[in-house]
Structure 1
Amino acid sequence: MWKKILNSPAFLLACVTVFIATVLLSPKTKSLIEAAANFTSPHAMPQSQEWTIASVADGDTITVKRDGETKKIRFCGIDAIEKQQKLGPQAKSYLQSLIDKGDGAVMVIPIEQDKYGRTVAEVFVKPRPGTPGYRSEEEIFLNGEMVRAGFARHIPNSDNCPNELVIEQSQQMAIANRTGVWNDYNVVPP
């Protein structure tokens, strides 16, 4: 008789219902759900802003302009090779080449201000239609691309970067492919 009860669909349904009710009514589950809702809600995500490129300083710093305003942008979550270091000029040139795939505009998602007054941000370029290697609706995530190309390193747990996981994965690809700084163990870290 017990075997029949334990194998019945009604018993299984009752067990699942009790389990779900227990999980959903748990204070810990409620706090996790609230935290997830706060993280993904529109008010928690920074707003993107379209700017025009004024100049490229190095592999992780650009100057942008809009409506008479100029702003220095430092890419969050990464540290690029400095201009005077080995591969430094190539890092700057590579960043410029990524920007040149677009129409001169970048989408900036500001995160915070650094101690030098620069806006720390994630930066994206929308490639021009027909750019080889990109679909028209795709954006180039400059922070991640600089790391993937081996011209910058991921800074773990830095700057509250929303796409930090993408940057971290980009570094793993660069290491696996021995790209840029990962190809020469004598290169001094940025």
Structure 2
Amino acid sequence: MRMFFYAWLCVPLSLFSQTKAKVVGISDGDTITVLLDGNVQKKLRLAEVDCPENRQPFGKNAKQFTSDQVFSRQVMFVETNKDRYGRSVAKVYYDNGKYLSAEIIKAGYGWWYYSYSKDADLGAMQNRAKAKKIGLWIDKKAVSPWDFRKAQRERAKRKRLQKQAELHIRKA
């Protein structure tokens, strides 16, 4: 009996927090919607990977890759965090243990999100994809999604300031 108890102590805790679900939507390369028991939908932001935005080069390719991998299929996921938009950040597994984020990075459709990941193996996968020039790495000037989003915010801010200045001039 004591041996049985010790064997249970060796089982990873993440095993208990895995959730099984069916993928019913793909928002972009790194965001999926799953259907849980009770017909409840949940949006998941994939952990450790950042894919090009839909408006970026290769954004649609990344979305298509993710769709080809998991749309309408059963997945297992482990929630790791919440993002600033309230979405669950999760590690998603399919096909008997394939890690979706790693598959996206290996295929060249996403960046290793090193700011939110300690898994250097993902960085090595990214470097191999880059060296082979596959997926988005065909583009020598590929812009990371976080830099793209920052540029979008700055552009929107300049537009707002320009409009305010024009209104101020008209009033004067």
TM-score by length of 1: 0.64
Query: 2:160 matched to which residue of 1?
Result: none
Out of 19, 31, 50, which is 1:49 matched to?
Answer: 19
Displacement of 1:172 in angstroms is 2.1
My pick for the range that moved more, 169-178 or 146-155, is 169-178
Name the structure where helix makes up a greater proportion of residues. Answer: 2
Q: Secondary structure at the match of 2:69?
A: helix
CA RMSD between the two structures: 2.1
1:46–1:109 CA contact under 8 A, matched in 2: no
Is the contact between residue 75 and residue 123 of structure 1 (CA under 8 Å) also seen in structure 2?
yes
Contact 1:145 1:170 in 2 (8 A): no
Equivalent pair of 1:77/1:158 in contact (CA under 8 Å): yes
Corresponding residue for residue 113 of structure 1:
82
- The code of the aligned residue for 1:104 comes to R
Q: Could you say which residue in structure 2 is the equivalent of 1:152?
A: 110
From the CA coordinates, give the structure whose radius of gyration is larger: 1
- Cα deviation, 1:124-169, whole Å, max 9, x if unaligned, reads 112xxxxxxxxxxx4321100111111110011415x7xx234223
1:59 aligns with 2:34: no
Write out aligned runs for 1:82-101 (5 A).
Answer: 82-99=53-70
Residues 179 and 46 (structure 1), Cα distance of their counterparts in 2 relative to 1, 3 Å cut: farther
Q: 2:14 touches 2:78 (CA, 8 Å); kept in 1?
A: no
In the TM superposition, residue 86 of structure 1 has moved relative to its aligned partner by: 0.9
Could you list the runs of 5+ residues in structure 1 that have no partner in the other structure? 1-39, 127-137
From 100, 125, 131, the counterpart of 2:94? 125
The answer to whether 1:104 aligns with 2:59 is no
Identity between Structure 1 and Structure 2 (%): 28
Distance in 2, Cα, partners of 1:42 & 1:149: 29
Shift in CA distance, 95/84, structure 1 to aligned 2, threshold 3 Å: same
Q: Which residue of 1 aligns with 2:141?
A: 186
Q: Contact 1:61/1:74 (CA < 8 Å) preserved in 2? A: yes
CA contact (8 A) 2:77 2:90 kept: yes
2:134 is the alignment partner of 1:170: no
Structure 1 equivalent of residue 152 of structure 2: none
Q: Secondary structure at the match of 1:151?
A: coil
Mapped contact 1:46–1:111 kept (Cα < 8 A): no
Paired residue secondary structure (1:117): coil
Q: Residue type of the partner of 2:89?
A: V
> Aligned residues, how many?
135
> Partner amino acid for 1:158?
Y
User: 1:120, CA displacement in angstroms?
Assistant: 0.4
Could you tell me which residue of structure 2 aligns to residue 12 of structure 1? none
Structure 1 distance, partners of 2:83, 2:16, is 16
Residue pair 2:106, 2:126 contacting (<8 A) in 1 also: yes
Q: Match of 2:6?
A: none
